[in-house]
Structure 1
Amino acid sequence: MQKVILTLLSYCLIMGGLKAQRLVSDARIVYKIETPAQQGGDPAFEGGSLTQYMKGHLSRVDIDFKVVHYSYLINSKTETVVTLIDNNGDKYLIRANKEEYAKDLKEYATVQFKDGTATKQIAGYNCKQSIGKTADGKTFEVYYTPDLVPENRQYNRRFVNLKGIPLQFEIINKNGTKMQMVATKVDLYPIPGSYFDVPKSGYKEISKEELTKMGS
């Protein structure tokens, strides 16, 4: 009898864990941007926001730095990325082809995540700490919820190897400083397909090289 009870208890615990985990196809996650001074963060970015949208094989990331706004339209089926930039009213569009998509995906696929012991609750979800390590040895901290698993692992290629959806994470800037994204809201509802449409007008299409020259 005792063995039967233990078996049923184990089954209930397993089923409970499976029930808690949700495969996410459509979502909107809003993050606030923090720039910790001890990590050399730029205070100019403080108060900005990042919004992640998902819909099947489509995803979109909006980053609002108050003065400059970036949008990344990612299509994992066609393996393309379109970047939209609104710099104080000057609007630019940049297309990345399959080769560039594959190159970036390969780079992020080398990032390895190792779970830590810390936990915290973010936006109503229990999250686990994980440390990401890039191929060149740089590390960044992530808190993810294993209760939400993305249907499309490439919705954000930065986290293709993560075992859940990150609700807090660090981004390493080119100068070595870090920005921290902390989720404030998680909405799980059907996202309109129009959110992922590439604008047909209003933006000047340029190349990455042209953008680099403009910033030099």
Structure 2
Amino acid sequence: MKKTVLTALAGLLLASATWGQKKLTEATIYYDIVINTGNDKPSKAGMLDGATNITYLKGNDSRADMISSLGSESVIIDGKTGGVTILKDYGEKYMMKLTAADWKNYNKKYEHISYTIENEFKTIANYNCQKAVGKLSDGTTFTVYFTKDLVPVNTEFLYINKNLPGLVMEYEASNGKTKVTNTVSSIDFGAVPLSKFDLPESGYRIIPSAEKSKK
């Protein structure tokens, strides 16, 4: 009898935790960007400090717009094909198209992330967020805070979500001495217009792939 009661209680606790979660299928996520260059002298990277990133999710489609004083950059992912279009507007306009394989290669350093989830919490945009330390295959580590209250069905828009049980609400990236921190400021769960994923038909110089752009 005691075993039956304990089993029932465990089931109720599990159901309660599940009910508290929200499947994130459609939303607009606003990120604030803070850049620390580790240098007192003004730099191009430093001019991106205070930029914003607005990410639109609709099913498996996504669009991320980074807007700064220097210009704007967008990454649009087609959920059906896995193809990605990158738009850049920094005085000159460029459009770069990647296949699903190109995109996977573009993010290959994140393919085998392992996480250590720590017993440290903080509130971000009114969500309780837990700290996790990610480790890349090359040994590089970085810190994220994620919430179990929101579980994205689409993780392609943010590769570092792939091995975590919730939405990343704050994450950092480093390039040399420059450290970039993205923090969610708010989330709008209203309907996202399909037009957000439309591609411009003119006005952009086409660059076929990331590899050709490097060459």
Give the TM-score category using the shorter length: 0.7 to 0.9
Moved more, 7-16 or 175-184: 7-16
Give the aligned partner of residue 69 of structure 1. 72
Give the counterpart letter for 2:112 in structure 1. T
Contact 1:114 1:131 in 2 (8 A): yes
User: What residue number does 1:18 align with?
Assistant: 18
Which residue of the partner structure matches residue 193 of structure 1?
Answer: 194
Deviations 1:31-71 (A, max 9, x none): 10112365999432211011121111111111112212110
Output the CA distance in 1 between the equivalents of 2:78 and 2:151. Answer: 18
Map 1:51-90; keep pairs closer than 5 Å. Answer: 51-88=54-91, 90=92
Distance 1:135 1:2, change over 3 A: closer
Indicate the residue corresponding to 2:206 in structure 1: 205
- 1:153-199 deviation line (CA, Å, top 9, x unaligned): 323223222221111110223x3522001111011222111111111
Q: Could you tell me how far 1:101 is from its partner in structure 2?
A: 2.1
Counterpart CA distance in 1 for 2:49 and 2:5 is: 54
**TM-score normalised over the length of structure 2:** 0.86
C-alpha RMSD over aligned residues = 2.5
1:113 and 2:109 correspond: no
Percent identical: 32
Q: Which is helix-richer, 1 or 2?
A: 1
Distance 2:117 2:135 in 1: 11
Once the two structures are TM-superposed, the CA of residue 143 in structure 1 deviates from its matched residue by 0.3
Q: What TM-score, normalized by structure 1, do the two folds share?
A: 0.86
**What SS does structure 1 have at the residue aligned with 2:31?**
strand
Displacement of 1:84 after TM fit? 0.2
Instruction: List runs of 5+ in structure 2 lacking aligned partners.
Output: none
- Decide whether the 8 Å contact of 1:108 with 1:159 is kept in 2: no
